[in-house]
Structure 1
Amino acid sequence: MRQAAGTPVPAEAGSRDRAAARDRPAASRDRAPGGGSRGGRRRSAVVVGGGMAGLASAALLARDGYDVELLEQRDALGGRAGSWERDGFRFDTGPSWYLMPEVFDHFFSLLGTSAAEQLDLARLDPGYRVFFEDHAEPVDVRADLDANVAMFESLEPGAGERLRAYLASAREAYDLAVRRFLYSSFESLTTLARPDVLGRSRRLVELLLRPLGSHVARSFADPRLRQILGYPAVFLGSSPDRAPSMYHLMSHLDLADGVLYPQGGFTTLIEAVARLAEREGAVLRTGATVTAVTTAELPARRRRGPRRAAARGARARVTGVRWRDASGAEHLSEADVVVGAADLHHLETELLPPALQTYPQRYWDRRDPGPGAVLVYLGVRGELPELAHHSLFFTADWEKNFAAIFGAETRVPDPASAYVCTPSRTNPSVAPPGHENVFVLVPVPADPGLGRGGVDGAGDPTVERVADAAIGQLAAWAGVPDLRERIVVRRTVGPGDFAADLNAWSGGALGPAHTLRQSAFLRGRNASRRVAGLYYAGSSTIPGVGLPMCLISAEIMLKRLRGDRTTEPMAVPL
């Protein structure tokens, strides 16, 4: 844990603080009054999963007056946004892009603080560097819009001004999404019948039905520009030919707003939210594996009565969860509310009986899990000035690359597009002096059968082959011929690890893909239709994948719990 941005606290001190919070009687914890009381009794909530969405849910529920207990099966908090250390290198194990800063600012404001108080944010320039298979020179996307307009113009005459128009449309779409879609629980679609939505209905239909790749191609001919504007689909667990062009709004985030980085890495973000959750009184337990959501049957007359939308037609009400600690001892935590912030497929199909599943296996059989990934963590001797903090490596035949990942007959792409993060270019503390910290992500099919990773080449053969190919590609395209010989630390992670360690559906790296039928109100909702008091948060549900979306999902959960059907962000502070 950290007392303030950049001020480390010994690990044992954080453990003592967490143990003290667990041992304090619930009534002794300071909480702000809010919606968590019933008949003079504080209501209780259990949050399943200690990733970003779970921590955010715990913080907001505790702020709202609930007695909150969070249960995380792993030994550390963070979920996909974890951390791994070896020989002086510290790797973020998952998310590494800080986009949509206003979402983070808003979340922290709900808790009476700010991103500036909790994090030490640096603006990256270049925001990222792009390497192309069939072009010798990379392209830098800068932190300044005018510079990016000039770059587009240099690659395709006339593209600069077309970029301004494209980003103006992206900004308009983004602003509308924040006002009407991202913070909505979609309990009632009549809330979307607003003049600003209805007046753009024809345009919205076009953006939803036209694929992003086709939308980009209407304005830009150069393949490099099309790839720069199409790659955000990968952030959404999709591809340019499958993601709706509504998501062209993503390009405004990096080409106009710029890319930030929290000094110390994304573990500082997890620590900040965990710290705030504990400040509000939430108890955060690690090494606690939830084995079942417990329920009580509702009388038939109450199933039909005038109840909250989450409970109409419910067959049961939630009573808590059963869980097992690291020693194997079994426990029961009673609760009025349970928030499933772990993988929704796991929660629904493994922790609930079939009769109480809103999303049974047959639902998932018709859905798209998004891509899997092979992750490679490398400690490299010497500097790598050829790489920016973020670097993208794009193959020439994108269609073939994406077809291999998402097609009817999937396989590992060869060659494969890849993403490389070198945070030591910005933050030397994540690597020993004179070394670089390199994180490589190669999108592959979501298939646990591809195997698990390991340390020093000890992973399953397919995973290690993907890693070897990515290292060779990075060395060749970026002009670092001795890269392989300079590697002093190596670890790989495969789809099998996502399935085993995170209960990720199909070993997916991000969450369900943002295709048309898995976006907005067509995505999994955030409350059970079968169990009153059971809510969901995280990348499996609305609004979608990524750290900003996970923060928003926690807020939408609280809005739904409060009976708040508005589409805008909540007033701050909470």
Structure 2
Amino acid sequence: MTPGRVVVIGGGIAGLTTAALLARGGAQVTLLERHDRLGGRAGTLSVDGFRFDTGPSWYFMPEVFEHAFALLGERIEDHVELDRLDPAYRLFPEPVDGGPSEPFDVVGDPETNWATFEAREPGAGQAIRRYTQESTEAYRTALDSFLYTTFARPDRLLSRDVVTKSRTLAGLLTGTLAGKVAATVTDPVLRQVLGYHAVFLGSSPYRVPALYSLMSHLDLVDGVRFPRGGMYTLIEALERIARKEGVEVRTDADVASVEIDDARPSLRHPRRSGQARGVRLADGTFLPADVVVSAADRHHTETALLGAHRELPEAWWADRGPGISALLIMAGVRGELPELAHHSLFFTRDWPGNFEDILGSGRSTPPDALRVPEAASMYVSRTTASDPTAAPPGHENLFVLVPFPADPTLGAGDRDTVERHADRYLDQVGAWAGIPGLRDRVVTRRVVAPADFARDFSAWRGTALGMEHTLRQSAMFRPGDASARVPNVLHVGGGTIPGVGLPMCLISAELVVKRMLGETSSRPLPAPLRPGYLAAARPRGVWSEQVG
């Protein structure tokens, strides 16, 4: 593709980065965002002097962020100041006697962590050391061979490294993360330390492939960082860069449909049924385009925006799992909260039951069969531990994420019930962390439920992250980034390859560029991209000649 006009639907991190990359390539890019500011799920809320990130809170995979900025000819350190967190996070196991939990920290020094784990279970320190060595190897293999590919040429994935590791990779793909963890340690809390990352994938350790053990490299080896000023500083930086590259940004622009003319199949596009000619806004405005890139929720794009030219009909979605949603509580608290770290994790003893409540026992459990957990495994962020400017003097901010059923009726009408859930979970945080009267110290709060994700982001079944990463919904089995029925419609974001999370969304933006260039390798593009690189692109050219 050598487009002149590109319309990008959705101003989250994926759409924003895609727009900037294509504008750098020489395309005339218009970015459409239905809300009054960019960011999507990676939003920000300022209320009563408190500042909250309203979505992603963990800064993982720093090399992916660095590379995305480098493609745009920028250094991330010129835009975002990163602090290394120590402790990386604090763990609160469920108390056994009704009193406070006995927390312990995962710190920045791996050797200290191995000693902490060894104290909980003899032999666990060395076992987890070996586990993280394997996770580092799996992480490097994923970066080098799988994450940066469009899967347009699966044969190009078969590098010497992949072939050499084929037996190991087969085991990591066919087993579950929970199974691999259980073979490493027996202590329940240490198993949770190695398995909690599955929630970041919208799923549970009992459902995601063992390959995702690679995520233990991120916190136990690589360490945890945080952008000073909050995660939204990343969005602000990318918006500045996109505008500098010439992107026209339109907020309060709700897209009602992608306008598509019928078209016949061809040898190159045997399933083609149409050709996009632009988008129609809810106010009736038509914007012409040579290429349309949707960063909107994938289910919404397929079932609402593409009309009769959808590639994934409702019947396809009925056999898929939306994954986890969330109840979010943003609370401004009077006084100090030293009991909590910047990141804190609360783990219930009945982890399998907890996950079954919110995910069900099958891959497509209907919403009415899911249950809201009474006591929850949850995540709590206190960014004022690292950045006091996020709250007024003498106060702290809390962001509480409770994994919740993907049920869009939760919070749709009966907000009192949602608020009572929030009360219960704040009381749980206070009881487990030994903070008497925590809820009474809350001076302002906002609660977000699955119904809000469905309304604000057109999220499939009100999910918070996007389609979960089970084996049949990961890698080449995940919906691709190019429409087979409308070849000039592309997809970006958590609903396509490589998956959910900010780093994956950044990679998905690069994959759109690869599609434009006809580039089929599994390697990242060289940085920086040459300004105007799309103008010189040949449909099936050699990427090193086009962008080097």
| Shift of residue 452, structure 1, vs aligned partner | 4.5
- 5+ residue gaps, structure 2, are 530-548
- 5+ residue gaps, structure 1, are 1-34, 38-42, 454-458
Residue 59 in structure 1 maps to residue 12 in structure 2: no
Counterpart of 2:313 (choices 343, 353, 360) is 360
1:437-463 per-position Cα deviation (integer Å, ceiling 9, x unaligned): 10001111100111149xxxxx71331
| Shift of residue 520, structure 1, vs aligned partner | 0.3
- Residue aligning to 1:445: 405
Residue 554 in structure 1 maps to residue 514 in structure 2: no
- Residue aligning to 1:435: 395
| Shift of residue 153, structure 1, vs aligned partner | 1.1
- For residues 509 and 495 of structure 2, what CA distance do their matches in structure 1 show? 12
- Residue aligning to 1:369: 322
3-state secondary structure, aligned to 1:368:
coil
| Shift of residue 331, structure 1, vs aligned partner | 1.0
| Shift of residue 175, structure 1, vs aligned partner | 0.5
Q: 1:26-41, aligned counterparts within 5 Å?
A: 36=2
Counterpart of 2:447 (choices 474, 492, 507) is 492
1:452/1:493 contact within 8 Å kept: no
- Residue aligning to 1:133: 94
For CA contacts below 8 A with separation 6 or more, give which structure has more relative contact order: 2
2:2/2:516 contact within 8 Å kept: no
- For residues 148 and 554 of structure 1, what CA distance do their matches in structure 2 show? 36
- Residue aligning to 1:314: 272
- For residues 189 and 206 of structure 1, what CA distance do their matches in structure 2 show? 19
3-state secondary structure, aligned to 1:349:
helix
- For residues 352 and 496 of structure 2, what CA distance do their matches in structure 1 show? 28
Residue 393 in structure 1 maps to residue 346 in structure 2: yes
- For residues 318 and 78 of structure 2, what CA distance do their matches in structure 1 show? 44
| Shift of residue 312, structure 1, vs aligned partner | 4.4
| Shift of residue 191, structure 1, vs aligned partner | 1.1
- Residue aligning to 1:304: 266
- For residues 420 and 173 of structure 2, what CA distance do their matches in structure 1 show? 38
- For residues 71 and 550 of structure 1, what CA distance do their matches in structure 2 show? 17
3-state secondary structure, aligned to 1:330:
coil
- Residue aligning to 2:467: 512
2:406/2:450 contact within 8 Å kept: yes
1:36/1:44 contact within 8 Å kept: no
2:95/2:432 contact within 8 Å kept: no
- Residue aligning to 1:503: 458
Q: 1:193-272, aligned counterparts within 5 Å?
A: 193-272=158-237
| Shift of residue 157, structure 1, vs aligned partner | 1.2
Residue 75 in structure 1 maps to residue 33 in structure 2: no
Instruction: Give the direction of change, closer, same or farther, for the CA distance of 1:205–1:551 in structure 2 (3 Å limit).
Output: same
Counterpart of 1:185 (choices 139, 150, 160) is 150
1:299-352 per-position Cα deviation (integer Å, ceiling 9, x unaligned): x3xx223x4xxx44311111110113xxxx421111111000010100110011
1:36/1:64 contact within 8 Å kept: no
2:303/2:313 contact within 8 Å kept: yes
- Residue aligning to 1:422: 382
Q: Which amino acid aligns with 1:191?
A: R
- Aligned pairs, how many? 518
- For residues 429 and 36 of structure 1, what CA distance do their matches in structure 2 show? 46
Q: Tell me the TM-score normalised to structure 2 length.
A: 0.93
Q: Tell me the TM-score normalised to structure 1 length.
A: 0.89
| Shift of residue 363, structure 1, vs aligned partner | 1.1
- For residues 44 and 262 of structure 1, what CA distance do their matches in structure 2 show? 34
Counterpart of 1:382 (choices 311, 332, 335) is 335
- For residues 143 and 45 of structure 1, what CA distance do their matches in structure 2 show? 44
2:42/2:231 contact within 8 Å kept: yes
Moved more, 133-142 or 249-258: 133-142
- For residues 214 and 285 of structure 2, what CA distance do their matches in structure 1 show? 46
- For residues 27 and 2 of structure 2, what CA distance do their matches in structure 1 show? 5
The ranges of structure 1 where at least 4 consecutive aligned residues each deviate by more than 4 angstroms after the TM superposition are none
- For residues 100 and 391 of structure 1, what CA distance do their matches in structure 2 show? 19
- For residues 421 and 379 of structure 2, what CA distance do their matches in structure 1 show? 13
2:427/2:439 contact within 8 Å kept: yes
Q: Which amino acid aligns with 1:380?
A: V
3-state secondary structure, aligned to 1:174:
helix
- For residues 262 and 377 of structure 1, what CA distance do their matches in structure 2 show? 19
1:209-239 per-position Cα deviation (integer Å, ceiling 9, x unaligned): 1110110010101111000001000110010
3-state secondary structure, aligned to 1:304:
coil
- For residues 429 and 209 of structure 1, what CA distance do their matches in structure 2 show? 46
3-state secondary structure, aligned to 1:384:
coil
Residue 290 in structure 1 maps to residue 245 in structure 2: no
- Residue aligning to 2:295: 341
Instruction: Give the direction of change, closer, same or farther, for the CA distance of 1:229–1:193 in structure 2 (3 Å limit).
Output: same
- For residues 122 and 443 of structure 1, what CA distance do their matches in structure 2 show? 27
| Shift of residue 36, structure 1, vs aligned partner | 4.6
1:295/1:317 contact within 8 Å kept: yes
- For residues 127 and 452 of structure 1, what CA distance do their matches in structure 2 show? 36
Moved more, 155-164 or 398-407: 155-164
- For residues 428 and 221 of structure 1, what CA distance do their matches in structure 2 show? 39
